[in-house]
A and B are shown apart, each in its own frame.
Chain A
Amino acid sequence: MDRTENNNKVMVDLSRVTMNYPPDVQALTDVSLQVDRGEILFLTGMSGAGKTTLLRLISGIEKPTKGYIEVDGQDLSKISRAGLQKLRRQTGVAYQNFKLLADRTVAQNIALSMEVAYRSGVFIRKQTRDLLAQLHLEDKHNTKTGKLSRGEQQRVAIARAVANKPTLILADEPTGNLDAETTKLVMDLFLRCKESGTTILIATHDRFIYDQPGNIIQLEQGSIIDGTLPADQEIPGRNES
């Protein structure tokens, strides 16, 4: 497989990435990883293992201390401001702390990711209604997100991440506040996105989640300990819940 063909196949490419935070916290050490287009990859590991840092580096929020990151064929260390803005519009991120605007309604929060991409009003309204129906939040359309429960807020954050039909979804503990039934709703939504070709990286502790079809990477103290495991491979803790 030549380099160009490989670039077309790979959505996220990390090579020997190290991330240090001052004064002496080593969040990631020499992490190398490739995620193919249309793949679901679960990042597992204890708290502080480096899952969130990895997602922040891939979304371009932070720059690595060392190493090379390429997303959708673009080297993040050389990407222009306009290039990064475009990449972000094509990437849906569900943050661990949701990053919702508490004084805006659920529909307005979901619409944000589509508005910045200049989607039509008709598309925005339809997509918002569809997503709210899929996540059982139809009755919350006009509710301000500040008045929602944590679980509901989490679903709104996920809806916003997938609303603009991104080519890459990064989800940081997307089911941390959800019950089993709602977790299944969220996973069904992610799987539908995958079917339409979206690459999905999910950082999670939730054993139910990484029991789903997809590859798994286990992080420990900032390093990958098992490489990429196929979905049917047994890893410690899997299927124990």
Chain B
Amino acid sequence: MNFLFAVLHQTSRNLLLTWRSQILSLMTITLSVLIFSFFYLVYTNALDAGKRLGDDLRLIVYLDEEPPPALQEQYRDKILKFDRVEKIEFVSSIQAYNKFKKQLGKDQDVLTDIPKDFLPPSLEVYPVRSLDSLSKIKRFSDYLQTFPGVLKVQYGREWVERFYSFIQLLRFVVILSGSLLVLITTFMMGHSIRLTLLTRQQEFKLLHLLGATSNYIRMPFFLEGALLGLFGSIAGMAALYMLFNWINLRFAGSAMLGMFTFNFFPLPIIAIIIGVAVVLCAGGSFSSTRKIFTL
């Protein structure tokens, strides 16, 4: 019987001996993975939505007068010093008038007799579309306000701030559920293994007397934890996938989901979540078995 076979044999025996508590552990891990990955899925989709914000992430800086090319260059340099932007556009009073006229369409006759330079010239700044820019947009706006000749800075403030708060809340929930996952997997596995150790003290003492190596005793628990982590997280991800499909079917075409595409995790993320659960459970089990040697 080689080492690997002996460990597998011991592991299957351990699992059979304690199958009731193993099922409970498996369900708890499944639930923790499901809770964490559900919020993480919502969070990543919200981030993607943030990246597709489009024109809503535009800051319009109204100026008191047409800036000469040298000042335009100065504005550009100052903006680029603050943050990365997708583009910066200068809109003269005439360009603003023409844009407005075009927007009015068949009602453009209301502009008759109004001077073509009645609208202020402006600077349109398009930050890079990301959550990072979203969080910085208020500071960006305050910064632009300090430029000489600036009358007012305008952006979809309320919408952006609400969205940002939502993302912040989601981030908090993801961290909370992630911590829950870590705590449950390591502590619960650890405690469950410790209970097993207590109930099987006599057996471990005997194994020591028979000359069992530390690895012979500890590895089955490590493997047990890894298997629970693997199957628990696979079950959690499968449950999330079913929930995801149900949400997509149930809310297909609704206004809420119409705003953004709801995507499932790519395979590498699924693999990372499963991998982390396996490592946490196996680590929790293995560290608990240190107690065996102080029995």
User: Using a CB–CB distance below 8 Å, which chain A residues touch chain B?
Assistant: 59, 61, 81-82, 84-91, 93, 99, 101, 112-121, 124
Contact = CB atoms under 8 A, between A and B. Distances in A.
A87 B211 contact: yes
Interface residues of B, number: 19
Given A82-B213, A85-B212, A118 B207 contact: no
A119 B210 contact: no
B3 interface: yes
A120 B1 CA distance: 4
Interface of B: 1-3, 5-6, 9-10, 202-203, 206-214, 216
A114 B216 CA distance: 12
Contacts, number: 49
Contacts of B214: 81
B207 to A, nearest CB: 6
A78 to B, nearest CB: 18
Among A59, A90, A99, A118, residue most surrounded by chain B Cβ atoms (within 10 Å) = A118
B211 A85 contact: yes
B210 A112 contact: yes
Given A118-B1, A121-B1, A93 B209 contact: yes
A118 to B, nearest CB: 5
A115 B213 contact: no
Contacts of A101: 202-203, 206
Interface hub of B2, B10, B203, B211 (most chain A Cβ within 10 A): B211
A173 B209 CA distance: 18
A4 to B, nearest CB: 26
A86 B211 contact: yes
B206 A88 contact: no
B1 A88 contact: no
